[in-house]
């Protein structure tokens, strides 16, 4: 019995060992099959053509020069010192010579401060020199300075383009140097990233005009941006670049030591490659400058929302002498006396309570302003209610101002998607006025390529009470 039991036990062990061996063999085989499948999958991925699935834009139109029809009287004035030249109609050669002097100064200044300049175009303008064309303003979309692509994208690790500069042939003499500088800066920036929105190109170039020459942009564009406060900044409309340049100037004062270094770094960071990843007629447009700006601010523990709200409040302190005497930034103090943001309503506390409903809607990043002058310093409290449409985030800020217009303090309701906000404001004997600022913030990072009407209506209610 014991022998039989032993034999049965030995047989069981043999069967067990065989099962273990078979399981190990099968496991090794299965592992090898899975490993081979993984290698095949990786090889298929590595060898397959890559496709960019993010946002793209159409590549800009390429021209060898302005479309001047059959005009053969277009002549050229070339610099003897710099690789640059100006093209103008024969009857405009005196102004062309004057523009060439400004072109030389702009070339030297931008190069010395590290701003990108256009690549030499290999003779598309008659010589390898950089080209500036004096053209009818219609070719600049009604503006005074612009740029265009001169040749399809140059092959490189990053998207790039050969470009040329243009200014309107009727630019006033006093604005000629600033407009030439802006046009050259625009051409350089478009060459660095031809996929970027035109409002960013123009705003960045206008910033360089202010920082490097002290002029308020081409055709005083920085001042004009103040009159369009409700329309926002740096969106798909070129006019949004006016306020956009002011915003970039304010940011530069806050975060940089060398003039222009911050914005130049934005442009370098946004460069990307489209060749082989998207159709030939399109360019990758993400990350764009708004996305890069948000991330770069976050690395310095700064929120983009906070800077947008700060800009909405700060730009009130410009224009009339009483306002700009309290300007928190140099660019705002430098604006002319007519560069004031419009007041949606200017009332006295004796007219409260009030309910504001009849006014223009706000666009993304647009701001509106209400000033309440206190008749009675015995007022101890102001209460403000905001009710806006769905589809936006709303910011409400109350700024207490002294008799001299100086800011005494501010209170803000946090921006949120719920379209209602309430703000209690404690007043004191020093408070002479209260400025109410409403700013519409987008639901996500702004995108200057999207042509979408994002305007929204809102209501504002304010009342005061005695101590």
Q: Which structure tokens are listed for 89?
A: 């109609």
Q: Which structure tokens are listed for 154?
A: 């140059």
CA-to-CA distance for 236 and 450, rounded, in angstroms?
Answer: 6
The whole-number pLDDT of residue 85 equals 94
* DSSP letter assigned to residue 237: S
CB 134 within 8 A of CB 95: yes
Which of 277, 246, 291 lies closest to 449, judged by CA?
291
CA distances from 462 to 47, 57, 320, 352 (A): 65, 45, 26, 7
Q: Can you list the alpha helix ranges (DSSP code H) found in 198-325?
A: 198-213, 221-224, 240-255, 261-269, 289-299, 304-314, 321-324
Residues pairing with 211 in the sheet: none
Three-class secondary structure of residue 150 per DSSP? strand
Q: How many residues does the chain have?
A: 467
Q: Which structure tokens are listed for 83?
A: 């690789």
Q: Which structure tokens are listed for 380?
A: 């101890």
The whole-number pLDDT of residue 13 equals 42
pLDDT tens per residue, range 249-306: 999 998 888 888 999 999 988 888 877 788 877 788 788 999 999 999 999 899 999 9
CA-to-CA distance for 410 and 384, rounded, in angstroms?
Answer: 13
User: Among positive and negative, which fits the CA dihedral 269, 275, 280, 286?
Assistant: negative
CA distances from 328 to 249, 262, 318, 333, 404 (A): 12, 19, 9, 8, 15
CA-to-CA distance for 403 and 230, rounded, in angstroms?
Answer: 27
The whole-number pLDDT of residue 5 equals 41
The whole-number pLDDT of residue 416 equals 81
CA-to-CA distance for 61 and 146, rounded, in angstroms?
Answer: 14
Neighbours of 33 (CB within 10 A): 10
Helix (H) or strand (E) holding 330: helix 330-334
Three-class secondary structure of residue 361 per DSSP? coil
Show the low-confidence residues of the chain (pLDDT under 50): 1-14, 16-18, 20, 22-33, 35, 69-70
Neighbours of 215 (CB within 10 A): 20
Residue range 56-313, CATH number: 1.10.390
CA-to-CA distance for 296 and 288, rounded, in angstroms?
Answer: 12
The whole-number pLDDT of residue 139 equals 84
CB 132 within 8 A of CB 184: yes
Q: Domain spans of the chain?
A: 56-313, 343-466
pLDDT tens per residue, range 366-388: 999 999 999 887 778 999 999 99
Residues pairing with 162 in the sheet: 151
The whole-number pLDDT of residue 438 equals 96
CA-to-CA distance for 176 and 29, rounded, in angstroms?
Answer: 78
The whole-number pLDDT of residue 442 equals 85
The whole-number pLDDT of residue 153 equals 63
The whole-number pLDDT of residue 20 equals 43
Which of 319, 191, 192 lies closest to 246, judged by CA?
319
Class of domain 343-466: mainly beta
Q: Which residues contact 33 (CB under 8 A, 6 or more apart)?
A: none
Which of 411, 397, 405 lies closest to 312, judged by CA?
397
Tokens 């007629």 -> residue: 281
The secondary structure of 456-467 as a DSSP string is B-EEEEEEEEE-
Q: Which residues contact 176 (CB under 8 A, 6 or more apart)?
A: 95, 98, 99, 102, 167
Neighbours of 414 (CB within 10 A): 11
């Amino acid at each position: 019995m014991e022998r039989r039991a032993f034999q049965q036990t030995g047989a069981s062990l043999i069967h067990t060992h065989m099962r273990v061996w078979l399981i190990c063999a099968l496991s090794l085989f299965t592992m090898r099959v899975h490993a081979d499948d993984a290698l095949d999958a990786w090889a298929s991925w590595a060898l397959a053509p890559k496709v960019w699935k993010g946002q793209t834009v159409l590549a800009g139109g390429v021209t060898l020069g302005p479309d001047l029809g059959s005009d053969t009287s277009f002549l050229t004035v070339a610099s003897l010192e710099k690789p640059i030249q100006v093209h103008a109609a024969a009857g405009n050669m005196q102004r062309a010579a004057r523009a060439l002097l400004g072109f030389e100064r702009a070339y030297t200044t931008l190069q010395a401060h590290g701003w990108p300049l256009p690549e030499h175009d290999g003779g598309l303008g008659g010589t390898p020199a950089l080209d500036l064309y004096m053209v009818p303003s219609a070719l600049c979309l009604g503006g005074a300075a612009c740029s265009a692509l001169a040749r399809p994208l140059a092959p490189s690790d990053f998207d790039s383009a050969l470009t040329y500069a243009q200014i309107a042939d009727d630019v006033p003499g006093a604005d000629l140097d600033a407009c030439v500088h802006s046009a050259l800066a625009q051409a350089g920036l478009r060459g660095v990233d031809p996929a970027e929105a035109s409002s960013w190109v123009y705003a960045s170039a206008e910033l360089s005009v202010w920082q490097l020459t002290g002029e308020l942009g081409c055709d005083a564009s920085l001042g004009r941006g103040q009159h369009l406060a409700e329309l926002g900044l740096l969106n798909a409309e070129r006019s949004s670049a006016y306020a956009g340049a002011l915003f970039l100037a304010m940011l530069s004062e806050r975060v940089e030591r060398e003039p222009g270094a911050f914005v130049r770094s934005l442009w370098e960071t946004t460069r990307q490659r489209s060749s082989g990843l998207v159709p030939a007629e399109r360019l990758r447009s993400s990350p764009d400058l708004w996305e890069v700006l948000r991330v770069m601010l976050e690395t310095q523990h700064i929120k983009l929302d906070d800077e947008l709200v700060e800009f909405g409040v700060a730009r009130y302190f410009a224009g009339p002498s009483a306002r700009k005497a309290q300007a928190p930034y140099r660019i705002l103090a430098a604006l002319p006396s007519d560069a004031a943001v419009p007041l949606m309503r200017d009332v006295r506390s004796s007219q409260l309570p009030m309910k504001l409903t009849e006014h223009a809607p706000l666009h993304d990043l647009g701001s509106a302003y209400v000033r309440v002058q206190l008749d009675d310093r015995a007022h101890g409290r102001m209460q403000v209610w905001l009710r806006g449409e769905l589809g936006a985030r709303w910011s409400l800020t109350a700024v207490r101002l002294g008799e001299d217009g100086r800011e005494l303090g501010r209170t803000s309701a946090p921006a949120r998607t719920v379209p209602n906000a309430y703000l209690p404001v404690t007043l004191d004997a020093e408070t002479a006025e209260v400025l109410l600022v409403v700013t519409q913030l987008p639901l996500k990072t702004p995108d200057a390529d999207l042509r979408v009407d994002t305007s929204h209506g809102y209501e504002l209610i304010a009342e005061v009470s005695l101590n």
